[in-house]
């Protein structure tokens, strides 16, 4: 549940405090999408029971349906986090849910009934500035369509102070993560189409610079959209102790774990395949692979073949459990994984070795969004009421509290 300590604000004083003594996650809020599927229903926020002690473990215990069609719920966040730990008047009690295709923003009350959240407020499209229009994947216009830059803003002046061109190694930068240590002015960004992870860091002159630190080679293939298949790095998570970086290759189908003790030289220590576009039954043949000697087998859970590839990930505060969903964006889901549109996506859980590295699928955990009462749904972002590894930030002044 949401964590507020007596006389303090939400969350924890430091990322290491959350890592060492954080409350285990019991429920998760998952954004679920119906846009582009056969179901003419609004998107919804699913409350999923992820407490192994519960009789409802791995079940959706509540569905909060939005009031409008075609929103495309996407990334969600919180109204407050550990950066407000020093302010006892602040609460983490509203899940902020923006929509890609309508520009609506929903504020969801998670305080009154955490297991049955409700809509507190809707900001309509007329009061927002723009709508993000993302079309299907276009391999002929990758630079102009998807971008290759990072932009640095000064929040005190609300001005953009630096633009960083990542070049051809940084096409389609989707997710950016700073180290959790508030004194560390560096982090990582995943360049989806280039299949790279790029480190950014602050230099002595106060500017930010970048360097590529992880490169996932394209696979030469037959029977696919292009002769070479990028991995499509679509999500990144850092553990709260800043020891491990995780990312998903949505097309190649694997989740990777890197030791980033040396941030300039990440070291691969864990990898697991959870579907993807190059499984042995996919109809795609790999003709040249710089990393693997054979194609991975498809993933079956409870007798069901898992459609799609690993996409959104969320890590437990203690770093021991990694949750995975398989939907990226409904139009791209339909283009690359049409079987997922028909069958719905899933939520999986991977057990993590936090000492030396390693990833193992928890075969007892499966949330199947293909069994929804209104029809198969597409599951995307995952949030915990008590905070998580991608929405919490920390400030240096709370370290001694």
Which tokens sit at 387? 């905070």
pLDDT at 4 over 80: no
Work out the average pLDDT over 129-142: 51
Work out the average pLDDT over 112-130: 82
Q: Half-sphere exposure of residue 88, counting CA atoms within 13 Å on the CB side? A: 5
Q: What is the pLDDT of residue 126?
A: 62
Higher pLDDT, 399 or 169: 169
CB neighbour burial string for 189-207, b if at least 16 within 10 angstroms, e if fewer: bbbbbbbbbbbbbeeeeee
Residue % of the chain over a pLDDT of 90? 85
**Model pLDDT for residues 242-267, shown as the tens digit of each residue:** 999 999 999 999 999 999 999 999 99
- Reported residue count of the chain is 401
pLDDT at 134 over 70: no
**CB-CB contact of 11 with 392 (8 Å):** yes
Report residue 7's pLDDT band, with 50, 70 and 90 as the boundaries.
low
Where residue 212 falls (left for φ over 0; alpha for ψ -120 to 50; beta otherwise) is beta
Edge-to-edge strands, sheet with 173-178: 173-178, 186-191, 196-202, 208-215
**CB-CB contact of 273 with 213 (8 Å):** no
**CB-CB contact of 38 with 108 (8 Å):** no
**Phi, then psi, of 143 in degrees rounded to 5:** -75, -50
Higher pLDDT, 314 or 398: 314
Helix (H) or strand (E) holding 359, with range, is strand 359-361
pLDDT at 136 over 60: no
**Model pLDDT for residues 190-244, shown as the tens digit of each residue:** 999 999 999 999 999 999 999 999 999 999 999 999 999 999 999 999 999 999 9
How many beta carbons lie within 10 A of that of residue 214, not counting itself?
22
CATH, range 15-398: 2.120.10.30
Q: What is the SS3 assignment for 312?
A: coil
What residue segments make up the domains of the chain, in order of their start? 15-398
What span, in angstroms and rounded, lies between the C-alpha atoms of 233 and 195?
Answer: 5
Q: What is the pLDDT of residue 8?
A: 82
Report residue 145's pLDDT band, with 50, 70 and 90 as the boundaries.
confident
DSSP string, 14-50: SHHHHHHHPPPP-EEEEEEE-TTSS--S--EEEEEE-
């Amino acid at each position: 549940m949401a964590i507020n300590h007596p006389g303090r604000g939400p969350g924890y004083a430091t990322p290491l405090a959350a890592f060492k003594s954080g409350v285990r996650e019991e429920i998760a809020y998952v954004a679920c999408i119906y846009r582009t599927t056969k179901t003419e229903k609004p998107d919804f926020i699913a409350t999923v029971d992820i407490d192994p002690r519960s009789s409802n473990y791995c079940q959706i215990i509540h569905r909060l349906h939005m009031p409008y069609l075609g929103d495309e719920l996407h990334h969600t966040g919180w109204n407050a986090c550990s950066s407000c730990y020093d302010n006892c008047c602040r609460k983490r009690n509203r899940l902020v849910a923006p929509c890609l295709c309508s520009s609506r923003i929903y504020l969801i009350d998670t305080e009154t009934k955490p297991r049955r959240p409700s809509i507190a407020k809707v900001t309509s499209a007329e009061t927002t500035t723009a709508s993000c229009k993302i079309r299907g994947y276009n391999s002929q216009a990758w630079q102009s369509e998807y971008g290759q830059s990072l932009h640095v803003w000064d929040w005190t002046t609300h001005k953009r102070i630096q633009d960083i061109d990542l070049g051809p190694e940084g096409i389609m930068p989707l997710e950016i993560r700073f180290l959790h240590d508030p004194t560390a002015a560096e982090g990582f960004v995943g360049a989806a189409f280039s299949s790279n992870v790029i480190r950014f860091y602050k230099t002595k002159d106060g500017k930010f610079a970048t360097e590529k630190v992880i490169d996932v080679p394209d696979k030469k293939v037959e029977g696919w959209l292009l002769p070479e298949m990028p991995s499509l790095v679509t999500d990144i998570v850092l553990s709260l102790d800043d020891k491990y970086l995780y990312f998903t290759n949505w097309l190649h189908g694997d989740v990777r774990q890197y030791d980033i003790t040396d941030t300039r030289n990440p070291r691969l220590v864990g990898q697991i395949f959870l579907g993807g576009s190059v499984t042995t039954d996919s109809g795609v043949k790999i003709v040249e692979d710089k990393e693997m000697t054979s194609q991975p087998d498809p993933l079956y859970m409870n007798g069901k073949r898992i459609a799609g590839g690993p996409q959104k990930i969320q890590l437990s505060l203690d770093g021991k459990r990694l949750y995975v969903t398989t939907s990226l964006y409904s139009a791209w889901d339909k283009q690359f994984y049409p079987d997922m549109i028909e069958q719905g996506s899933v939520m999986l859980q991977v057990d993590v070795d936090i000492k030396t590295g390693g990833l193992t699928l928890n075969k007892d955990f499966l949330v199947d969004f293909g069994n929804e009462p209104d029809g198969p749904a597409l599951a995307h972002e995952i949030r915990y009421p008590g905070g998580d590894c991608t929405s919490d930030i920390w400030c240096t002044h709370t370290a001694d509290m």
